[in-house]
Amino acid sequence: MSYKVKFVDPGRLYRMIKEELDAAYFEVMNNGDLIDRGQLRQFEENLAAFVGTKYAVGLNSGYDALHISLRAAGIGPGDEVIVPAHTFLATCSAVVNVGATPVLVDVGKDFNIDCDKVEKVLKSTIRNPQSKIRGIIPVHLSGYMADMVWIMEIAKKYDLIVIEDACQSLGASMMDEASSKRIKAGAWGLTGCWSFYPFKILGGYGDGGAITTDDPDVALFATRMRYNGEDRETGEYHGHGFTCLLDNMQAAFLDVKLRYLPQWIVRRQGIAERYQHALSDIPDLLLPHYDDLRRDHVYQNYTVRSKQGDDFSNYLKANGVEVLTQWRKPYYRHEALELEDRGFPETEAISREVCSLPMNVEIDDEEIEYVISVVRKFYRK
């Protein structure tokens, strides 16, 4: 179907910065800089500086970032890792694919892992000598961070490794009262994991990912393992690795886009304010605006909860507004995955109600007003 307002419009965004993207393309092509060249290293330096870490390592996807992070942390068979019940499957799959066991925990009203429920699970393990929970992967969903102050306190108390799935929240931050500094997503845990899938807030023209870290050993491990375990300087192999290097061309494109990201975040926040102002009087529509002033929101997605569920999202699509519904069927309910469903009422409710409205920097004011008008028409009918 042809939508009047697209969820994202990569072609329009390309035309907005076409000259710079084209220049990056021709630089790579004219120099033959195809694999592991200067554009990748430059992007890694700039990404680390943006996030506020010492190192960044470009990888092929957000999943690879999670997978390599778990291996770098030494997590494997016999270990358990806490993950949210409401997230993209890759978070859980990375745990399974290193041989560990995911321990699912429900989320809160802000879509992020519920810290009270995390601690409840951890307290129960004290009485269970068979439990071997070694890590936690908080997911910063839709552009809004999990409560990393609390998570880091819990991690210290229970000796947990923290790996941040920050794939949807590049640029988000939270005030750390102990240091009186705002710390960005991806700079709290052992690693921050990033996805540059085309529809992300910083998206490439193909898949891509990265980790950020302050740990030199983790950065070195990831740099070697992404290229079959090889140290590219010496030719020495340091283990059986993988082929998950960020493509040099994608790194060049991402480096161009990274320069625009601060102003793009401001634009997204402005669109969110317009949605909030226009829709906050609708009782059956819960908007993604929260009271915790320690945390900001970069609105990777503008994710609402409609009590009318599919009726709401289908109406918007039928009236020319492309929306995203993630995920109507929670991942733990897919039988082939063989995961334990211990009952996650908030995740179940979110899954019935969730709908993300168009949120991108290429959308114009007229399109925003059209989205608002369609939403209001649904609730008037």
Q: With 70 as the cut, is the pLDDT of residue 191 above it?
A: yes
pLDDT of residue 378: 98
Q: What is each CA distance from 372 to 35, 226, 283, in whole angstroms?
A: 45, 44, 15
> Can you tell me the distance from the alpha carbon of 28 to that of 239, in angstroms, rounded to the nearest whole number?
30
Say how far residue 349 (Cα) sits from the centre of its chain. Answer: 21
Q: With 80 as the cut, is the pLDDT of residue 351 above it?
A: yes
Burial-class residue 335 by CB neighbours within 10 Å (0-12, 13-18, 19+).
exposed
Q: With 90 as the cut, is the pLDDT of residue 97 above it?
A: yes
Instruction: Name the DSSP letter for residue 246.
Output: P
At which residue do the structure tokens 């309910």 appear?
333
Q: With 70 as the cut, is the pLDDT of residue 341 above it?
A: yes
User: 101-105 and 80-84: which strand pairing?
Assistant: parallel
Q: With 90 as the cut, is the pLDDT of residue 1 above it?
A: no
pLDDT of residue 381: 73
Task: Domain 10-258: give its CATH code.
Answer: 3.40.640.10
> Can you tell me the distance from the alpha carbon of 177 to that of 179, in angstroms, rounded to the nearest whole number?
5
Task: Domain 261-380: give its CATH code.
Answer: 3.90.1150.10
pLDDT digits (tens, 9 = 90+) for 119-139: 999 988 766 667 799 999 999
Question: Which residues belong to CATH 3.40.640.10 in the chain?
Answer: 10-258
pLDDT of residue 127: 64
Residues facing 227 on adjacent strands: 243
Instruction: Name the DSSP letter for residue 337.
Output: G
pLDDT of residue 124: 84
Question: Which residues belong to CATH 3.90.1150.10 in the chain?
Answer: 261-380
pLDDT digits (tens, 9 = 90+) for 140-149: 999 999 999 9
pLDDT digits (tens, 9 = 90+) for 20-42: 999 999 999 999 999 999 999 99
At which residue do the structure tokens 């907005």 appear?
16
Helix, strand, coil abundance in the chain, percent, nearest 5? 40, 20, 40
At which residue do the structure tokens 């320069």 appear?
259
Average pLDDT over residues 156-173: 97
Q: What is each CA distance from 116 to 75, 106, 120, 154, 161, in whole angstroms?
A: 24, 10, 6, 10, 18
pLDDT digits (tens, 9 = 90+) for 247-256: 999 999 999 9
Average pLDDT over residues 284-290: 97
Q: Three-class SS of residue 188?
A: coil
pLDDT of residue 310: 97
Are the C-beta atoms of residues 80 and 66 closer than 8 Å to each other? no
Q: Mean of the per-residue pLDDT values for the chain?
A: 96
Which of 210, 199, 297 minimizes the C-alpha distance to 255?
Answer: 210
User: 209-213 and 161-165: which strand pairing?
Assistant: unpaired
pLDDT of residue 2: 81
Please give the structure tokens belonging to residue 287: 């908007």
